[in-house]
Amino acid sequence: MKILDLTAVELAERIRRGEIDAMESLEAVFDRISEREEQLHCYLVLDREGARAKARELQKRRSAGEVLGPLAGVPVAVKDNLCTKGMGTTCGSRILENYIPPYDATAVRNLRNADAIILGKTNLDEFGMGNTTESSYFGLTRNPWNEERSAGGSSGGSAAAVASGECYAAIGTDTGGSVRQPASHCGVVGLKPTYGTVSRNGLIAYCSSMDQAGPITKDVRDSAALLSVIASRDPKDATSLQRDDLSFLENIPQDVEGLRIGIPADDSGKGLDPEIREAIWSVATALKERGAVLEEFDLGIMKYVVPAYYTIACGEASSNLERYDGMKYGLRVSAEGLQETYRKTRTAGFGAEVRRRILLGTFALSEGYYDEYYMTAMKVRRLIRDAYDKAFLKYDVLLGPTSPQIAPKLGESGMDPLASYLADVYTVPANLTGMPAMSLPCAMHSTGLPIGVQLTAALFQEKTLFQVGAVWEQIRGKRYE
Q: How far is the CB of 419 from ligand GLN (least distance, A)?
A: 12
Q: Smallest gap, in angstroms, from Cβ of residue 429 to ligand GLN?
A: 12
Is residue 131 part of the contact set for ligand GLN (CB under 6 A)? yes
The site map against ligand GLN for 421-450 (x = CB under 6 A) is: ---x--------------------------
Angstrom distances, CA of residue 123 to CA of 100, 187, 289, 336, 371: 16, 18, 40, 34, 36
Query: Among residues 154, 155, 228, 413, which one is catalytic?
Result: 154
Closest residue by Cα to residue 216 from 205, 208, 227? 227
Q: Which of residues 308-327 bind ligand GLN (CB under 6 A)?
A: 313
Task: Give backbone dihedrals phi and psi of 372, rounded to 5 degrees, phi first.
Answer: -65, -40
Compute the CA torsion angle 344, 348, 349, 350 (nearest 10 deg): 110
Range 182-241, binding ligand GLN (CB under 6 A)? 206
Q: Which is nearer to ligand GLN, 175 or 223 (CB)?
A: 175
Q: Distances in Å between the alpha carbon of 449 and those of 169, 337, 404, 407?
A: 20, 52, 13, 7
Q: Is 175 in the site for ligand GLN (CB under 6 A)?
A: yes
Known catalytic residue: 79? yes
Smallest Cα–Cα separation from 439: which of 219, 195, 110, 126? 219
Does 154 help bind ligand GLN (rule: CB under 6 A)?
Answer: yes
Alpha-helix runs per DSSP H in 248-365: 274-289, 302-320, 338-349, 352-365
154 is catalytic: yes
**Segment near ligand GLN (CB under 6 A), from 175-183, 266-274, 390-398, 439-447?**
175-183
Which C-beta is closer to ligand GLN: that of 128 or that of 400? 128
As a whole number of angstroms, the distance between CA 139 and CA 141 comes to 7
Q: How many residues bind ligand GLN (CB under 6 A)?
A: 13
Which string of x and - marks every residue 382-421 that binds ligand GLN (by CB under 6 A)? ----------------------------------------
Marked catalytic residue, from 79, 121, 192, 218? 79
Least separation in angstroms between residue 63's CB and ligand GLN is: 42
Report helix, strand and coil shares of the chain as percent, to nearest 5.
Answer: 45, 15, 40
We find the least distance from the C-beta atom of residue 129 to ligand GLN, in angstroms, to be: 5
Closest to ligand GLN by CB, 176 vs 351, is 176
Choose, from 93, 178, 403, 439, the residue flagged as catalytic: 178
Nearer to ligand GLN, 157 or 176 (CB): 176
CA distance 316 to 234: 22
Q: Which residue type is seen at 181? A: Q
* Beta bridge partner(s), residue 439: 190, 454
- Tell me how far, at minimum, the Cβ of 146 lies from ligand GLN, in Å: 21
Instruction: Tell me the closest approach of the beta carbon of residue 313 to ligand GLN, in angstroms.
Output: 5
- Among 343, 436, 452, 354, residue whose Cα is nearest residue 398: 436
> Is the CA virtual torsion 41, 44, 49, 50 positive or negative?
negative
CA 324 to chain centre: 24
CB 234 within 8 A of CB 240: yes
**Of 85-104, which residues contact ligand GLN (CB under 6 A)?**
none
Footprint of ligand GLN (CB under 6 A): 128-131, 154, 174-178, 206, 313, 424
Active site residues: 79, 154, 178
